[in-house]
Chains A and B, each alone.
Chain A
Amino acid sequence: MLILGCDTSSIASGALIRVEDAAASGRPYAGPVEVLGAFRTEDTRSHAEVMAPGVEELLRAAGVEGPELGMVLTGVGPGPFTGLRAGIVTARTLAWAWGTQVRGVVSLDAVAEAAHDAARAAGHRILRVVTDARRREVYAADYEILEEGYRRAAGPAVGPAAEIGAALYPAAADGEPAEDAEPAPAAPSAEPPVAGRGALLYPESLTALPGHDAVQPTAEDLVRAALRAGLDAASTGTSPLYLRGSDARVPAPRKRALR
């Protein structure tokens, strides 16, 4: 089974990956993962330029025709909106034209995929993934480190780095138990180590998992994360996780032209 991954939640990246057909069952997959090709940008502002040529080159170099793909996976953020949309609309349109299914994965999972082994080796039970949300805020999610793999336990959420714990566990911060059927996750007793660029940008508020403060979400890690969870767990909806409104305000009464 061939899978094309795209993620533009931070940098722009793509990956063409071959796995055993067992992955198509949709259940968690632990078999071999062969990366046929991958690309990534350094910057976070050229998504609309690089995605299509990048994918074209991936397919050409691997001698793969689009309709041979079993699935297109796209990161659905959270991430800065304009770039995020460029990747999602690319993935959706490719899949539409090829008649292939497209599914969405939380982009922060890709960072957890890259960092969970190090977190486990250091004895941590919880890993916090924090990425740049611009405007002096971050996107974050907490992952419970399991014996094998990890599980998203809270988030994604958005907020200032210094207050991101409260944003991830709103019920705990309010001191009121959530009334939902599913109990809200309890906030970790100590601030967990952080993977992702949030740790690099806000060292005064966040403590990095050593060596993981520059980890970016990539398409390759995104696909690995989706395989680990099982492709059935990937969302058939691919709308962006905006987490913030449009900023638009209904206009205030007009300013007077006369004084």
Chain B
Amino acid sequence: MNQPETTAPRPADAASAPVEAVPAPDAAPAPDAVPAPDAAPAATAAPTEAAQADAAPAASRRGPIVLGIESSCDETGIGIVAGSTLLTNTVSSSMEEHERFGGVIPEIASRAHLEAMIPALDAALADAGLTLDDVDALAVTSGPGLAGALMVGVSAAKALAVATGKPLYAVNHLVAHVGVGLLAGGGLPEAESGGALPEGLGALLVSGGHTEILKVADIAGSVRLLGATLDDAAGEAYDKVARLLGLGYPGGPAIDRAAAEGDPEAFRFPRGLTAGKYMGSAEAPGSHRYDFSFSGLKTAVARVVEGCEARGEEVPAADVAASFQEAVADVITAKAMLACTENGIDTLLLGGGVAANSRLRALTAERCERHGIRLVVPRLSLCTDNGAMVAALGARLVAARVPPTGLGFTADPSLPVTTVSVPA
């Protein structure tokens, strides 16, 4: 079993936070990430500076303390926030156990969640310097995700709710990815002043399980799916192509590294669902104007690789990787820009594990700037699956006085994005 790894907000993180890599007007370190001069004395044996500075007394004036549980894929995440202040982000990943399979095996992930849950809860409370009594509300990812994996987190969260009598929110994993931007230092500036979300907020979520464009009118209640992948998620395509090229798992970082040495124009790989009949026009959109498909791209890469092998040539892995990466980044950002400009989105949050990809980030930043769209990329530990995002959305629901879900729900592997939190 993996030891839970804890990443709490540190001032050093803010300095290197992805948001600064984006030409945003006010990307200064978040004030809350710096220990306040009047912060409470350090809690004994708290493992990180930030946790000490953010310990309970300081937190009590920052809004509800919410504990969030995430188990939709291969990360067991426990996060605790106080309002928009992150107190701990504890993650235990089973990624290494999936390596030899080249992708996440649901049963292996579910087994790992079960064994990681209590150690992660312990580590999270210790890191935040809190006891369970200090927590005001609970939140858990109830979907979308892998059924067996979700079931572990949902069962644990319900048991916590029964044991403590605290209100429980069953929340949407995808909306939680957006909710993390509301944390101080998470990237959305309005959150830092405690104000409302920017109007015209959108989100581009790209990970091993998701490729979606969302429009967020109200994070606590009104979220619309503008586009999504019809087959593979982008991260899945990365994993499969990395395997084709013998680059290892996970594919994202492996291809990113290989692509650095390659020519992105060496091959012209297809951009899925960009034909006229799918795109239509802004006035008369086609059937899949904002949707994605990566299965054809994957096959096109396989053809190139096998063609080389058949001719006895060495596969130009760097060029293939760079060209593949260009195709993915190009089609995702092009469609995201269309979705933004045609739906009144002027602030775009980029989330999901593939947000770490250098080309996707660079091209998203370049195109957002060209279209006058403010781009927000939370730091990577908050982009990948984690419990802090679940807690952050939970805190938002508490603040918006949304009634808690209670115990009468179950995991929903295909929870629609329109369900921000499951109604009681």
Taking beta carbons and an 8 Å cutoff, which residues of A are in contact with B? Answer: 46-49, 51-53, 55-56, 59, 66, 81-82, 85-94, 96-98, 239-240, 242, 246-251, 254, 256-258
Contacts and interface: CB of A to CB of B under 8 A. Distances in A.
Interface in B303-354: 303, 306-307, 310
A48 B164 contact: no
B327 to A, nearest CB: 16
B406 to A, nearest CB: 9
Nearest to A255: B302
B102 interface: yes
Interface of B is mostly: helix
Give the interface centre of B105, B122, B163 by most chain A CB atoms within 10 Å.
B163
A22 B363 CA distance: 70
A258 B308 CA distance: 11
Given A48-B411, A86-B152, A89-B156, A248 B107 contact: yes
Interface string B92-134: 0000000011100101101101110110011000000000100
B218 to A, nearest CB: 29
Given A48-B410, A92-B118, A86 B107 contact: no
B161 interface: yes
A85 B107 contact: no
| Chain B interface residue bracket vs A | 35 or more
Nearest to B411: A48
Interface in B371-424: 407-411
A89 B410 CA distance: 15
Given A52-B407, A56-B407, A239 B121 contact: no
A255 B338 CA distance: 36
A81 to B, nearest CB: 7
B407 A81 contact: no
Contact of A258 (B158, B164, B306): B306
B148 interface: yes
B160 interface: yes
Contacts of B118: 92-93, 96
Contacts of B244: 254
Contact of A93 (B100, B115, B156, B307): B156
B117 A89 contact: yes
A136 B158 CA distance: 33
A98 B159 CA distance: 11
B155 interface: yes
Contacts of A96: 118, 121-122
Contact of B151 (A55, A86, A242, A250): A86
Nearest to B150: A48
Given A85-B148, A97-B160, A248 B408 contact: no
Contact of B114 (A47, A240, A247): A240
A247 B243 CA distance: 21
26 contacts: A47-B151, A48-B410, A66-B163, A82-B110, A82-B147, A85-B111, A86-B151, A89-B155, A90-B156, A91-B159, A92-B117, A93-B156, A94-B159, A96-B121, A97-B132, A240-B111, A246-B108, A247-B107, A248-B101, A248-B107, A254-B243, A254-B302, A256-B302, A257-B302, A258-B302, A258-B310
A257 B301 CA distance: 9
A86 B155 contact: yes
B100 A242 contact: no
B145 to A, nearest CB: 13
Contacts of B158: 48, 51-53, 90
A92 B163 CA distance: 11
Given A48-B155, A87-B155, A93-B118, 18 more contacts: A49-B408, A51-B158, A52-B161, A82-B151, A85-B155, A86-B152, A90-B156, A92-B118, A93-B117, A93-B156, A93-B163, A94-B162, A97-B132, A97-B159, A248-B101, A250-B101, A251-B101, A254-B302
B299 interface: yes
B349 to A, nearest CB: 31
B154 interface: yes
